[in-house]
Amino acid sequence: MYKPFLEYLEKELFSRFDLSSKPIPAGLEANVSNRGKNQATIQSWCYECPQLRKIRYTYIDAGASAQVFNSVIYPSYYYDIPLLGIDLLSFGKSKILIVLDFQPLFQEESYLEKYIEPMRSLREKYNDLAQKLEMKFYDANQYFSKYLLFAKTDEKTVKTTFFEAYKQYINLYWEMLDKAEILDRTEDIQKVIKAQKDYDQYSADRDPASGLFSSYFGHEWSEKFLYEFLFEDAVPLA
Ligand code: BLA
């Protein structure tokens, strides 16, 4: 269901950037589970280029029971622009959740004005995809913007309206990256390094997918996947 989203992102990346593969730790690139009624497969891709230090995306295909496309793009430490976060989930026909955001590294007014306000007109165009859903796992005020797309929706809307929105948000992200100024003060760069690391720690510790990964692939694989690949700059809690 989300394959066109993966393909679109991949085509964009390959046409715009000079990508190199970034190694994924052995055993974490892919896995197959036969635990449930349906077979579940998970596959991940990871790249880097001068402007983007980590580009990762993952597809989970468990047939009709689950389809997930998840991606995070981390800019180089020389840019303080937000991360691009994508989380598209479908559990059967009745539970479809889409999340797309420019994930801010900082919450200061001046930062939000510079990097989040540009999303406003897109967000207003796609009002129906920006529902005021409550977050149970995350804090909406940390690493999320007020213009995120976050909606429970249906397959038809995903394929039509949301696919259009997706392309436009991604395009805006490339524009932002194009315009971003290179940081040259060590202290600014250090702040970005710390904020990206904190993002990984925050995200790994509350990832709502941890249970899903464990149920398909076991607890041990799940922890490794979270702390050694998805959010590799995080350290495990205990
Ligand atoms: C929620 N994301 C979820 C849920 C799952 C995942 C299973 C819970 C859905 C539910 O039952 O309500 C899945 N998260 C994943 C997967 C990966 C992952 C498969 O990290 C990794 C492969 N999540 C992100 C990113 C964003 C994001 C980049 O990983 C930003 C756009 C958002 N996911 C996000 C939000 C929720 C969510 C906001 C709702 C969480 C809440 O209620 O607090």
Task: Determine the distance separating the centroid of ligand 1 and the alpha carbon of 175, expressed in angstroms.
Answer: 25
- Sorted by sequence, the CB contacts under 8 Å of residue 100 that are 6+ apart come out as 85, 86, 87, 88, 148, 149, 150, 165, 166, 169
- Sorted by sequence, the CB contacts under 8 Å of residue 197 that are 6+ apart come out as 233, 234
- Sorted by sequence, the CB contacts under 8 Å of residue 42 that are 6+ apart come out as 30, 31, 33, 58, 59, 60, 61, 213, 216, 217
On the question of pLDDT at 123 being above 80, the answer is: yes
Task: Determine the distance separating the centroid of ligand 1 and the alpha carbon of 190, expressed in angstroms.
Answer: 28
Q: Find the mean pLDDT for residues 137-153.
A: 92
Reported as a single tens digit per residue, the pLDDT across 30-62 is 999 988 777 999 999 999 999 999 999 999 999
Return the percentage of the chain with pLDDT > 70, whole number. 99
The pTM assigned to this predicted structure is 0.96
ipTM above 0.85, yes or no: yes
Whether the CB of 84 sits within 6 Å of ligand 1: no
Q: Find the mean pLDDT for residues 181-203.
A: 97
